[in-house]
Amino acid sequence: NAGVTQTPKFHILKTGQSMTLQCAQDMNHGYLSWYRQDPGMGLRRIHYSVAAGITDKGEVPDGYNVSRSNTEDFPLRLESAAPSQTSVYFCAMKRLAQALKGDEQFFGPGTRLTVL
Amino acid sequence: GQQVMQIPQYQHVQEGEDFTTYCNSSTTLSNIQWYKQRPGGHPVFLIQLVKSGEVKKQKRLTFQFGEAKKNSSLHITATQTTDVGTYFCAGEGENSGGSNYKLTFGKGTLLTVNP
Closest CA to A49 of A23, A24, A74, A25: A74
Segment A83-97 mean pLDDT: 90
A43 and B43 within 8 Å at the Cβ level: the answer is yes
Q: Where are the domains of chain B?
A: 4-96+109-114
Under the banding of pLDDT at 50, 70 and 90, the label for residue A30 is confident
Closest CA to B106 of B15, B14, B29, B54: B29
Q: pLDDT for B2-59, tens place per residue?
A: 899 999 999 999 999 999 999 999 999 999 999 999 999 999 999 999 999 999 999 9
A102 and B103 within 8 Å at the Cβ level: the answer is no
Residues of A in contact with B98 (CB under 8 A): 50
Domain B4-96+109-114 coded CATH 2.60.40.10? yes
Longest dimension (CA), chain B: 46
Nearest to A43 among B100, B101, B105 (CB): B105
Segment A78-102 mean pLDDT: 84
Q: pLDDT for B22-37, tens place per residue?
A: 999 999 999 999 999 9
Domain that holds residue A76: 4-115
- Strand positions, DSSP E, chain B: 4-7, 10-14, 19-25, 29-37, 44-49, 55-58, 61-65, 71-76, 85-93, 103-105, 109-114
Under the banding of pLDDT at 50, 70 and 90, the label for residue A97 is low
Closest residue in B to A90 (Cα) is B42
For A:15-54, CB contacts with B below 8 A are 31, 33, 35, 40-45, 48, 50, 54
A42 and B88 within 8 Å at the Cβ level: the answer is yes
Closest CA to B85 of B29, B48, B34: B34
CATH of the domain at A60: 2.60.40.10
The pLDDT score that the predictor gives to residue B113 is 97
Q: Pick A105 or B90 by higher pLDDT.
A: B90
Measured between CA atoms, how close is B80 to chain A, in angstroms? 23
Interface test with A, best of B2, B3, B45 (most A CBs within 10 A): B45
Under the banding of pLDDT at 50, 70 and 90, the label for residue A26 is confident
| Residues found in chain A | 116
A42 and B45 within 8 Å at the Cβ level: the answer is no
Domain count, chain A: 1
B50 and A41 within 8 Å at the Cβ level: the answer is no
Q: Does A79 touch chain B (CB under 8 A)?
A: no
CA distances from A79 to A20, A63, A102, A107 (A): 8, 7, 37, 24
